[in-house]
Amino acid sequence: MWVEPLGLIEGQAAAAALAADLALPLAGGPLAFTLVRLIGPDAPTTALPLSDVPEAWHAQVLALTRALPHFAGLPMPCEGGRPLVMGIVNVTPDSFSDGGRGIAESIAAGHAMLEAGADLLDIGGESTRPGSQPVAPEEECRRVLPVIRELAKAATISIDTRNAATMLAALEAGAEIVNDITALRHDPAAARVLARSEASVILMHMLGEDPRTMQQNPRYGDVALEVAQFLADRVSAAERLGLPRGRLAVDPGIGFGKRLPHNLALIERLPLLAGIGCPIVFGASRKRFLGTLSGVETPAERVPASVAAALAAASRGAAMLRVHDVAETVQALSIWQALSGGAEEEDL
C-alpha cells in the first residue's frame, strides 16, 4: 500500500493552502501536497483531495508530513528549504564525464566546489557508468583515501563505493557517508562495517548488481512503484542489519538500468519515495538521457540540462542533489528558492 503525493505547490500558494487545511506539508519541507493517489488493493483509481481520503489511509498520509531528521549532521532540507548540493569528485581515469583526474586535481576540484557553495562532497574511485569494469578495493583506496583525508578537513564527505574494505578505510580517513549504488547488495561485509560505525548511508536502486549489464534491455511494469518498493525493502533490510532509518537516505538511481521513459517517469513521480520516510537523493547530472533530450552529445556540455533536471527534482521533494556543476546548480537553486518564497527578506 502506497500513498503518492500529488498536486505539489510551494511558496505563498502552499502557505495559503496549508492555512485553509487544503494541503499538507511534504516531509516537513517547503512543498505541500493537495492531492494523493492511493495504491493498493481496493484503492480508488483516481486522485483524491485530502478531505476525501478514507480513514484507513489517514496514518499513511500523515506519515508523508513528518520532518526528516538531520543526515550526517546536515539538515534535510537545508536552511531556507532548498535541497543540499553534493559535489561529485571522481578520482578515476574513466568516469563518463570527468575522468582523468589525479589526486592533486581531485583535491583542488573539491575545494573549488566548496567555494562554489557545495554542502558536501561525494568522492569515488570506481567508475560505474554502463559497461564499466570493476576496480579492486586496493586500487580504489589508493585513489580516494588521500583525497578524503584532505577534503574531510573542510567538508562532510561521502564515499561512493560498493566495497566493504573501501568503506571501512574511507570512514577511518574521515568520510561520514557511504553512497552504495547496490544498496548494500554487492558486498556481504558492508552491512557489518556500517553497523559498527556511525556512518550515514545512501541506498540506491540499480537494476541487477553489475554496472556492466544494467543497461541490457531493462524492463519494468510501473517503474516508479517498483523502484519505490525496492528501496523500501532495502531500508527494511538495512534496519534488520543494525542500521537505523535515521541514518539512511534513498536514491532512485537515474540512469542505472533505466531507459529514457523510465528516467522521466521517476523524475515526474519522485514524491512517491517520500513514503519511505528517508531523505531523497537525486543524481541526473550530465547523464546520457539528458543528452538524448537536449541533442548534446558531450557530457560536459550538458550543464543547462543538468540544472533543469536538478530543479525538477527540487520541486518534487529531493533533499539532496548530486551534481558535477556546483556553481550553476547553487545559483539556479537560489533563484528557485526566492521565487518559491524561501529567501529571507534581508537577502533580497
Catalytic residue set:
287, 322
Beta strands 24-25 and 32-39: pairing type? antiparallel
The C-alpha cell of 243 is what? 542500521
E-state strands within the chain: 2-9, 24-25, 32-39, 48-49, 84-90, 120-124, 156-160, 177-180, 200-204, 248-251, 281-282, 320-323
Helix (H, G, I), strand (E, B) or coil at 90: strand
Q: What's the rounded Cα separation, in Å, for the pair 321 and 157?
A: 14
- Determine how many CB atoms are found less than 10 A away from the CB of residue 130: 15
Question: Cβ distance 38 to 3 under 8 Å?
Answer: yes
Query: Starting at the edge strand that comes first in sequence, how are the strands of the sheet with 177-180 ordered?
Result: 248-251, 200-204, 177-180, 156-160, 120-124, 84-90, 320-323, 281-282
